[in-house]
């Protein structure tokens, strides 16, 4: 039976129609946004780079829209020029394995058979394989944009997802660091001091502790107002003085019944224990009382002290002065010692950039309500930035 003319036409046009459809899709994948390009094509500036970097770090495609279609990456050897916004979508699609983002990717210019070319098709390939790529920006630019958005290194921790950049506990602990930190007077500014590499000036540190307690080195039963907080402050300083001077009299200045939250032993007993172990003085162990409650004396702190002091097994364990668990108390102690607490904004740029990087890392990997709220605030601040200075 001879097929009808209409049947022959229908069957003949079917492959052609499919080919035309594929061609149309291919062209749409490379269509230009003429509205955005009326002002002329240009290379990415620092703002465009930051928008792409922020979108990349948070895997947030909404931020890619901050990059106008008129912004073009120039390309290079074996790489065709491309829309910066397309590069932004392509990066996130590969990072998240989300092929739907590839519908937003546009090819720049005619199809190239020689160079690598960012397009919907290359994006689909990256998304299917989980291709990881990205770009970086300079430390100064990152810190500058955080400043523009209203972030401050000294208050960044108030966002609730990263610790303070200036860790006062580390500063306090470093006063007696066995690997070397010195206290010296500033050339100006009165009695304030700074920390610098060197060796610990033990005499100066102990003298500062004496002055902080009562000005004469007498037992630190009171400090400033004579309240409970003052007694605890004095105990922390006496514990430091004991380990720096290697003199047990400072431990005996600590009230016998004063508890130490971080240890089961009392503060004075713990001071004696740590000093005995550090100085290998077994006689000091005998100054640690044993509870008369019938408990096994071999489990007492005194017995543990003797075991550690008399042990012939080499150990890397070393004890340092106790550090308060509260930042506020630690700040008080540093102030009493006239040690200047640096502002985070005055730290080296790489330290600030590290903190901002950690902040972005937290925003991108944690999804609890606190992180989600901080992430939303960050995105809103980025979206309020001007596209070009």
Residue 38 pLDDT: 52
Residue 219 pLDDT: 44
Section 210-223 average pLDDT = 59
Higher per-residue confidence, 10 vs 311 = 311
Residue 55 pLDDT: 96
Which of 54, 47, 42, 124 lies closest to 83, judged by CA? 42
Residue 225 pLDDT: 45
Residue 346 pLDDT: 87
Residue 298 pLDDT: 83
> Is 296 a residue whose pLDDT tops 90?
no
- Report helix, strand or coil for 247: coil
Section 320-334 average pLDDT = 92
- Average pLDDT for the chain: 82
Section 72-99 average pLDDT = 89
CB atoms within 10 A of CB 306: 16
Higher per-residue confidence, 226 vs 89 = 89
Which of 231, 182, 219 lies closest to 332, judged by CA? 231
Q: How many residues does the chain have?
A: 389
Q: Domain ranges in the chain?
A: 9-129, 141-164+346-384, 168-341
> Is 297 a residue whose pLDDT tops 80?
no
pLDDT digit string, tens, across residues 174-207: 888 755 555 555 554 445 556 555 566 778 888 8
Residue 242, Ramachandran bin (φ over 0: left; ψ between -120 and 50: alpha; else beta)? alpha
> Is 87 a residue whose pLDDT tops 50?
yes
Residue 216 pLDDT: 44
**How far apart (Å, rounded) are the C-alpha atoms in residues 192 and 252?**
29
Section 81-106 average pLDDT = 94
CB atoms within 10 A of CB 150: 10
Name the least confident of 13-17, 85-89, 227-231, 371-375.
Answer: 13-17
């Amino acid at each position: 039976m001879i097929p009808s003319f209409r049947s022959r036409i229908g069957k003949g046009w079917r492959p052609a129609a499919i080919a035309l459809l594929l061609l149309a899709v291919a062209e749409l994948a490379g269509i230009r946004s003429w509205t955005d390009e009326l002002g002329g094509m240009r290379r990415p500036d620092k703002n465009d780079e930051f928008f792409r970097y922020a979108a990349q770090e948070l895997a947030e495609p909404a931020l890619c829209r901050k990059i106008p279609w008129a912004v073009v990456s120039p390309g290079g050897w074996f790489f065709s020029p491309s829309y910066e916004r397309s590069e932004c979508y392509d990066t996130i699609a590969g990072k998240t394995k989300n092929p739907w983002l590839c519908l937003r990717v546009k090819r720049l210019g005619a199809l190239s058979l020689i160079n690598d070319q960012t397009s919907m098709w290359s994006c689909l390939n990256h998304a299917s394989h989980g291709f990881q790529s990205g770009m970086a920006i300079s430390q100064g630019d990152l810190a500058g944009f955080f400043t523009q958005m209203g972030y401050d290194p000294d208050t960044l921790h108030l966002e609730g997802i990263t610790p303070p950049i200036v860790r006062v506990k580390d500063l306090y602990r470093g006063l007696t660091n066995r690997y070397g930190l010195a206290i010296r007077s500033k050339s100006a500014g009165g009695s304030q001091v700074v920390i610098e590499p060197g060796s610990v000036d033990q005499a100066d540190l102990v003298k500062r502790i004496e002055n902080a307690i009562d000005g004469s080195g007498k037992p630190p039963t009171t400090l400033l107002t004579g309240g409970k907080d003052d007694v605890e402050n004095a105990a922390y300083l006496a514990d430091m003085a004991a380990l720096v001077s290697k003199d047990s009299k400072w431990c005996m200045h600590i009230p016998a019944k004063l508890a130490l939250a971080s240890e089961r032993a009392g503060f004075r007993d713990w001071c004696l224990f740590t000093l005995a172990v550090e100085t290998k003085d077994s006689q000091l162990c005998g100054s640690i009382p044993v509870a008369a409650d019938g408990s096994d004396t071999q489990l007492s702190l005194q017995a543990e002290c003797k075991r550690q002091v008399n042990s012939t097994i080499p150990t890397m364990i070393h004890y340092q002065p106790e550090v308060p668990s509260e930042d506020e108390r630690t700040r008080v102690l540093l102030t009493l010692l006239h040690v200047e607490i640096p502002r985070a904004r005055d730290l080296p740029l790489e330290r600030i950039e590290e903190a901002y990087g950690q902040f972005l890392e937290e925003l991108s990997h944690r999804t609890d309500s606190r992180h989600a709220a901080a992430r939303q605030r960050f995105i809103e601040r980025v979206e309020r930035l001007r596209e070009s200075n």
